[in-house]
Amino acid sequence: MSRIEKYILNPETLMAELKEEPRHRGWKVLLVVLSGILLFLFYMWFYVSVLGLDLPKTAILKRQNADWNSRIDRISQQLDQHEERLGLLEVRDDRIYRSVYGMDEIPQAVRLAGFSEANRYASLEGTSLQYIVRRVDIMEKRVYIQSKSFEDVITVQRTAGDRAAHIPAIPPMSTDPSTFRLTSPFGYRSDPLLGIGKRHTGIDFACDPGNPIYATGDGVVIKAAHEGKGYGNHVEVDHGFGYVTRYAHMSRIDVVEGQKVSRGDFLGLSGRSGRVTGPHLHYEVIYRKDYVNPALYMDLDIPAKDYAEMVRKPERP
């Protein structure tokens, strides 16, 4: 076996002395290094392929990706809520405000028009952000169109007299959420007494008997009936311009037929008279002899304090 010759200084004799070492020492070092590399590679293979675990950097990237996806999901949910509210405003604008003043509806093709630029979202192509950004852009355009429509309606309203005051535009009772809960929306449902599908022509406000009920717009009382079935004790107000509202299942009626009322005037108290399964106010809006969704004509998000300032409190019996 060949050897490596080295000269080493002897501190005692101060002479350089020849020292020979086996040449295979370098191979041992190389073997150790290679063994370490192979062991590391085997560990990584076992860690990923056998145990099914992610590398540290991969795990970090996955957590970051999951966090961003979660944020995008939350943004998407918020957009869904905003789009629903905006859609309600658009329907209310077309079917109520613009209709009352004889204005044409804004075509859906105009409200929902997108963007034709082919490269507008090129930098986001293939990412989940592309869909979100596009939705935001379209919503911004819809909001702009809606704001311009409201400006047009306000301009017409200023020259249209008191017509707006006759539209049933507020909830029939306080918006304090502790005083009621919505139990049956407008539309088809299973009849609570018959158990069959039937059209529900109004909105039900479940509440304790004795909640004050107010006129939702200016008009004339055309019916103040005390009945033991159907609507029970109920009031109907003709607001003119094709609008009639009905307030049913009352326990007390404080108006008479032929009486003029203004928006916010006290009509009576809620109860459970007539055909009911529990105490509630059944409220209807009728436009040109057809039932329409009362939700389009009210905003239940009005602070209770602001609502209280709009109505006239009932006198004590």
The angle formed by the CA atoms of residues 206, 223 and 316, to the nearest 5 degrees, is 60
Q: What pLDDT is stored for residue 205 in this prediction? A: 97
Higher local confidence (pLDDT), 219 or 114: 219
In the block, tokens 């203004």 appear at: 262
State the pLDDT at residue 195: 59
- Given a cut of 60, whether residue 267 has pLDDT beyond it is yes
Looking at residues 132-137, what average pLDDT do you find? 84
In which band, very low, low, confident or very high, does the pLDDT at 138 lie, cut at 50, 70 and 90?
A: confident
Whole-number pLDDT of residue 68: 81
Q: Which residues is 159 bridged to in the sheet?
A: none
The CA distance from 275 to 230, in Å, is 5
Enclosing H/E stretch for 223 = strand 219-225
Reply yes or no on whether the pLDDT at 263 is more than 90. Answer: yes
Instruction: Give pLDDT, residue 106.
Output: 87
Can you give the C-alpha Rg of the chain in angstroms? Answer: 38
When pLDDT is averaged across residues 173-197 and rounded to a whole number, the result is 81
Q: In the predicted model, is pLDDT for residue 194 greater than 60?
A: no
* Least confident interval from 26-40, 136-150, 191-205, 300-314: 26-40
> What is the average pLDDT across 263-285?
94
For residue 111, what pLDDT is reported? 81
pLDDT at 221: 98
* Higher-scoring residue by pLDDT: 246, 130: 246
Q: What is the pLDDT of residues 83-107, one digit of tens each?
A: 888 888 888 888 777 877 767 888 8
Measured distance CA(100)–CA(94) in Å, rounded = 9
Tell me, what's the pLDDT at 219? Answer: 96
Q: How do residues 57-83 score in pLDDT, each as one tens digit?
A: 777 777 787 788 788 888 888 888 988
Average pLDDT over the chain, rounded to whole? Answer: 82
Cβ atoms within 10 A of the Cβ of 263, count? 21
Average pLDDT over residues 222-232: 93
Q: Cα dihedral angle (312, 305, 84, 295), rounded to 10 degrees?
A: -20
Are residues 245 and 287 in contact, defined by beta-carbon separation less than 8 angstroms? no
Closest CA to 179 of 213, 202, 149: 213
Has residue 177 got a pLDDT over 70?
A: yes
Query: 71: number of CA atoms within 13 Å, CB side?
Result: 7
How much of the chain, in percent, has pLDDT values that exceed 90? 34
Flag whether the pTM goes above 0.85. no
Do residues 273 and 227 lie in contact, with contact meaning Cβ atoms separated by under 8 Å? yes
